[in-house]
Structure 1
């Protein structure tokens, strides 16, 4: 009985290692795309491999970006124009290097901060036998990846909201200071005007 438990434990450990190093690809990145520039990345995929790219603009300008994903022949498989957030999922139809780019060429001044995740699953043919527990582990890993992506999206969104709140507070502060200066200036001018008016009257 103890031997069976040990063998099951070793088997599960082996499947976790296989899951971590062979069937799935997960990567999270944070980049800054300069004004009037673009940043491109590549993934080498085989036919029937799956890949998903999710992104979120965290700061800069109107917090939007152009994005596209193309196959080895340059055919666009997904394209977004001036989006704050987005996701593109593909299943490779041919072997080769797939390119995805973030473009800030529409902006001549503002740099953009972009957070993105890339995750995919290496295709396993129907003729390859997969144990039910391995299939469950793969489904669990995909679910955990989705949760991780959502958490990173929430972090970026919280950062955006915090930056917006701080910017609003700063504008309110400086507007209040400007109003106070204008108020004192108007009061000072009124006092000076009334004083000069009464002085003229007294001379007459």
Structure 2
């Protein structure tokens, strides 16, 4: 009897975690005649899904008119090495999806070719990764999962992602520590070299002055 409340609690926590995850990644901004990008640091082998929209920020739809006026443009997503991983053209709403092949910074850039449309264009991006990007309704139908089992599955995936994120953070921390130690070593040797050069210049100057004064018979 005690297992059911535990499962329900786990399911509730999964729902809360996923809801928070989905709500935190939506951004909206004006292009103002410029190319603007949104970046996200993502681990390797992670599913990424982006829902986006390009629309006229000054448009006010009247009665019987559509609530949003789309703007023709393009979204280009690049990987950590600058390689293109996704590109979509749209006039209004659009979507892209890909699986990462390396950990690092992935960047989604919005382009509007028309200079006049660019001035009034506004972009929206809902960037989902990992657990939040998966179609859980389709998974539940395919595997015949009930609600509790589905939420427990989501929770397990969230825990796995958190573990992978912590491992990635640890690796980067070690890399930063190694870089910091290498930099400190180089700075130390640079200081020693600078001191040695100063001493050598001082000795050379003293010897030169002694020879100079001897030639002038001042010593």
Q: TM-score, normalized by length of structure 1?
A: 0.51
Task: Give the Cα–Cα distance (whole angstroms) in 1 for the partners of residues 5 and 129 of structure 2.
Answer: 32
What secondary structure is seen at the aligned counterpart in 1 of 2:25? strand
Matching residue of 2:123: 114
1:28 aligns with 2:26: yes
Instruction: Show the counterpart of 2:6.
Output: 7
**For residue 183 of structure 1, what is the aligned residue in structure 2?**
none
Alpha carbons of 1:8 and 1:76: their partners in 2 closer, same or farther (altered >3 Å)?
Answer: closer
Contact 2:11 2:152 (8 Å CA) reproduced = no
* Residues 30 and 138 of structure 1: CA distance in aligned 2, closer, same or farther (over 3 Å): farther
- What number of residue pairs does the alignment pair up? 130
- The match for 2:72 is 64
Aligned to 1:200: none
CA offsets 1:52-88 (integer angstroms, 9 cap, x no match): 1121222169711221001111111122346433211
SS of 1:34's partner is coil
**Residue number in structure 2 paired with 1:74:** 82
Of Structure 1 and Structure 2, the greater helix share is in: 2
Q: Does 1:95 align with 2:103?
A: yes
Q: Residue deviations 1:10-54, cap 9 Å, x none? A: 3333444554568x785222211112x111111111111111112
Change (3 A) 1:25 1:76: farther
Q: Which residue of 2 aligns with 1:137?
A: 151
Asked whether the equivalents of residues 57 and 112 of structure 1 are also in contact (C-alpha less than 8 Å), the reply is yes
Alpha-carbon separation, structure 2, partners of 1:134 and 1:120:
23
3-state SS of 1:53 partner: strand
Q: Give unmatched runs, 5+ long, in structure 1.
A: 124-131, 142-204
Counterpart CA distance in 2 for 1:121 and 1:14 is: 17
> SS in structure 1 opposite 2:150?
helix
| RMSD of aligned Cα (Å) | 3.5
State yes or no: 1:40 paired with 2:37. yes
- State the shift of 1:102 in Å: 0.7
The answer to whether the 8 A contact 1:25-1:118 is kept is no
